[in-house]
C-alpha cells in the first residue's frame, strides 16, 4: 500500500516508460481523448490496453478514492449504485490531472536535462577549451590598478598583470610594503610601477587616489582590497562592532564603488577596459557567523553584475570573482592544497575566465564546489555553513584559552 501511494497515478505514466513502481506502463491520455471512452468502459482511444476506470473502482471498494477526493464527484459516486456510473464519474475527473502531472514531469525532466547539458558545455568551454578568453594585457591600456596589492590575491594579480606587460599602480596602506612589492615587480618584470598609499578604511582618501591616477591610461582595475572577521562570530558579539561595521563597509563596499567612479570614465572614453571585482563565495549564499562580511560580498557581486549589464555594450567587461578559500594571510591558510590554492595559481586560473564568465568562482575546484552548493536548497546550505562556522568559532576560542 505504501509503495503504491508513492507511485504516480497509473493514468499519468507513459506508454514506453517504466513507471515509478518499476513496471511498464501504458501511454497517458491524449488531451481530449477521454471524451471518446464509452461510459462504463475504458475505450482504447483513452488509454490503449489499460482499463482506466479499474483503479477508481478498486479505491472505491476500499473506501479510499471517493472519500479522499472529498469533492462532488465522490459524493455522487456513493449515492449511485452500479459499476458503469461510478466509472464514468471518476474517470473524467482523474484523467486531466494525471495528464497534467505527466506533462509537468516530462517538461521538468527535459528542462533539467537541457540545463545540465548547457552547464556542462559552458564548463567545458571555460575550463577545458578556454578559447574566447579576453586578452587581459596592455592592449586594453598601459596601466593596471590593483587595490590591496601588497599581499595575497591582490599581489598575485599585480604580478600576473606585470608579467603580461602591464605597468602597475599598487594601492595599499603600508608604504613600506608597497615599496617592497613595487621593487620586486619592477625588477622581475621590467615594467613601470607606481604606489599610492591609502587606507580604504577611511572615506576621505579618494581625492588623493584621483590625483595619483591622473593622466594614466588604465586598462584594468582590480578591486581586490577586503577585510573579514578575525574569527566567525555572532553579529552582536563582534569586537568593537560599531568600528568594524564602518571599516568593513568602507573597505569592502565603498572602495569598489569609488574606485569604479574614478576609473570607468577613462575606460569609456577609449571604449575598452576590464574591471575585476573580488567578491567571495560567501557572497553567493548567506554565511552565518560571517554575516556582515558575506553581505558586503553579496553587494560586490550584485554591483558587478549590474555594472556589467550597463556597460558591456560600450566595450567594458566587469567580472564578479567569487573565490572559496585561497591560501593567504586573510584565510590564515599557509599551505596551499588543490581546493585551497596559492594566490598565484588562483589568479592565473581566474584571468583565464575573463570574457567567458562575467561571474566566476575563478578556479575549477571552486567552480565544482559552487555547483554542488547550488544544488542544495538555500536553507540546507545555510544550516551546514552555520554548523561549520560554529565549529571553527569553538576551535578559535579553545586555541585562545590554551595560549
Ligand X SMILES: NC(=O)c1ccc[n+]([C@@H]2O[C@H](COP(=O)([O-])OP(=O)(O)OC[C@H]3O[C@@H](n4cnc5c(N)ncnc54)[C@H](OP(=O)(O)O)[C@@H]3O)[C@@H](O)[C@H]2O)c1
Which residues carry out catalysis?
Answer: 293
Q: How many C-beta atoms surround the C-beta of residue 383 within 10 A?
A: 13
> 141 burial class (0-12, 13-18, 19+ CB within 10 angstroms)?
buried
| Cβ closest to ligand X, residue 102 vs residue 325 | 325
Q: Which of residues 332-391 bind ligand X (CB under 6 A)?
A: 343
Least distance to ligand X, CB of residue 323, Å: 4
Q: Is 328 in the site for ligand X (CB under 6 A)?
A: yes
Sheet strand arrangement including 193-197:
193-197, 167-172, 143-147, 218-223, 273-278, 316-321, 359-360
Please answer whether residues 263 and 221 qualify as being in contact, where contact means their C-beta atoms are separated by less than 8 angstroms. yes
Shortest distance in whole angstroms from residue 314 CB to ligand X:
26
Interacting residue with ligand X among 259, 326, 373, 385 (CB under 6 A) = 326
CA 200, distance to chain mean position in Å, is: 28
- Residue 148 binds ligand X, judged by CB under 6 A: yes
DSSP-based three-state secondary structure for 236? helix
- For the bound state, the minimum distance from the C-beta of residue 175 to ligand X, rounded and expressed in Å, comes to 9
Examine residue 18 and tell whether it contacts ligand X (CB under 6 A): no
Strand 316-321 to 359-360 pairing? parallel
User: Least separation, in Å, of the C-beta of 52 and ligand X?
Assistant: 58
**Residue 172 in contact with ligand X, rule: CB under 6 A:** yes
Please select the residue that binds ligand X; options are 11, 65, 66, 152, rule is CB under 6 A. Answer: 152
DSSP 7-57: SPPGGGS-SSSB-TTSSB-PPPPPTTGGGGSPTTS--TTTSTT--TTHHHH
Q: Which among 60-68, 170-178, 366-374, 394-402 is the span making contact with ligand X, rule CB under 6 A?
A: 170-178
Tell me which residue has cell 505504501: 2
For ligand X, which residue of 69, 101, 105, 151 counts as binding (CB under 6 A)?
Answer: 151
SS3 268: helix
Of 256, 291, 293, 288, the residue nearest 389 (C-alpha): 288
Does residue 153 belong to the site contacting ligand X (CB under 6 A)?
A: yes
Give the shortest CB-133-to-ligand X separation in angstroms. Answer: 21
Of the listed pieces 7-15, 133-141, 161-169, 224-232, which binds ligand X according to CB under 6 A? 224-232
Shortest reach from residue 144's CB to ligand X, in Å: 15
Does the footprint of ligand X cover residue 246 (CB under 6 A)? no
273 versus 343: smaller Cβ distance to ligand X: 343
DSSP-derived letter for residue 342 is -
Residues that bind ligand X (CB under 6 A): 148-154, 172-174, 177, 199-201, 224-228, 251, 278, 280, 323, 325-326, 328-331, 343
Amino acid at each position: 500500500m505504501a509503495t503504491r501511494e508513492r507511485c504516480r497515478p497509473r493514468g499519468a505514466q507513459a506508454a514506453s516508460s517504466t513507471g515509478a513502481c518499476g513496471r511498464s506502463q501504458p501511454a497517458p491520455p491524449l488531451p481530449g481523448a477521454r471524451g471518446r471512452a464509452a461510459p462504463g468502459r475504458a475505450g482504447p482511444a483513452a488509454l490503449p490496453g489499460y482499463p482506466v476506470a479499474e483503479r477508481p473502482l478498486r479505491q472505491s471498494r476500499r473506501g479510499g478514492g471517493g472519500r479522499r477526493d472529498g469533492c462532488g464527484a465522490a459524493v455522487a459516486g456513493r449515492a449511485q449504485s452500479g459499476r458503469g456510473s461510478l466509472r464514468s464519474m471518476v474517470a473524467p475527473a482523474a484523467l486531466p490531472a494525471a495528464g497534467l502531472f505527466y506533462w509537468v514531469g516530462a517538461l521538468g525532466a527535459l528542462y533539467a536535462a537541457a540545463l545540465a547539458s548547457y552547464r556542462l558545455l559552458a564548463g567545458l568551454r571555460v575550463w577545458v577549451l578556454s578559447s574566447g578568453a579576453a586578452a587581459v594585457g596592455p592592449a586594453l591600456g598601459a596601466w593596471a590598478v590593483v587595490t590591496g596589492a601588497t599581499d595575497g590575491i591582490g599581489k598575485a594579480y599585480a604580478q600576473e598583470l606585470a608579467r603580461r606587460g602591464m605597468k602597475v599602480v599598487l594601492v595599499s596602506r603600508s608604504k613600506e610594503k608597497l615599496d617592497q612589492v613595487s621593487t620586486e615587480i619592477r625588477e622581475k618584470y621590467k615594467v613601470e610601477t607606481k604606489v599610492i598609499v591609502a587606507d580604504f578604511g577611511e572615506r576621505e582618501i579618494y581625492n588623493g587616489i584621483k590625483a595619483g591616477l591622473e593622466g594614466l591610461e588604465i586598462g584594468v582595475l582590480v578591486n581586490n582590497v577586503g577585510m573579514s572577521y578575525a574569527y566567525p562570530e555572532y553579529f552582536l558579539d563582534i569586537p568593537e562592532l560599531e568600528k568594524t561595521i564602518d571599516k568593513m563597509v568602507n573597505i569592502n563596499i565603498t572602495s569598489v564603488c569609488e574606485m569604479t567612479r574614478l576609473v570607468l570614465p577613462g575606460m569609456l572614453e577609449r571604449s575598452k577596459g576590464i574591471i575585476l571585482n573580488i567578491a567571495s563565495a560567501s557572497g553567493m549564499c548567506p554565511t552565518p557567523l560571517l554575516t556582515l562580511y558575506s553581505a558586503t560580498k553579496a553587494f560586490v557581486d550584485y554591483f558587478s553584475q549590474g555594472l556589467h549589464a550597463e556597460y558591456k555594450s560600450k566595450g567594458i567587461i566587469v567580472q564578479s570573482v567569487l573565490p572559496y578559500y585561497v591560501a593567504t594571510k586573510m584565510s590564515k591558510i599557509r599551505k596551499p592544497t588543490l581546493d585551497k590554492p596559492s594566490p598565484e595559481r588562483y589568479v592565473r586560473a581566474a584571468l583565464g575566465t575573463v570574457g567567458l564568465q562575467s561571474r566566476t568562482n575563478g578556479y575549477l575546484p571552486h567552480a565544482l564546489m559552487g555547483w554542488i552548493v547550488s544544488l542544495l536548497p538555500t536553507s540546507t546550505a545555510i544550516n551546514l555553513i552555520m554548523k561549520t562556522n560554529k565549529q571553527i568559532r569553538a576551535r578559535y576560542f579553545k586555541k585562545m584559552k590554551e595560549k
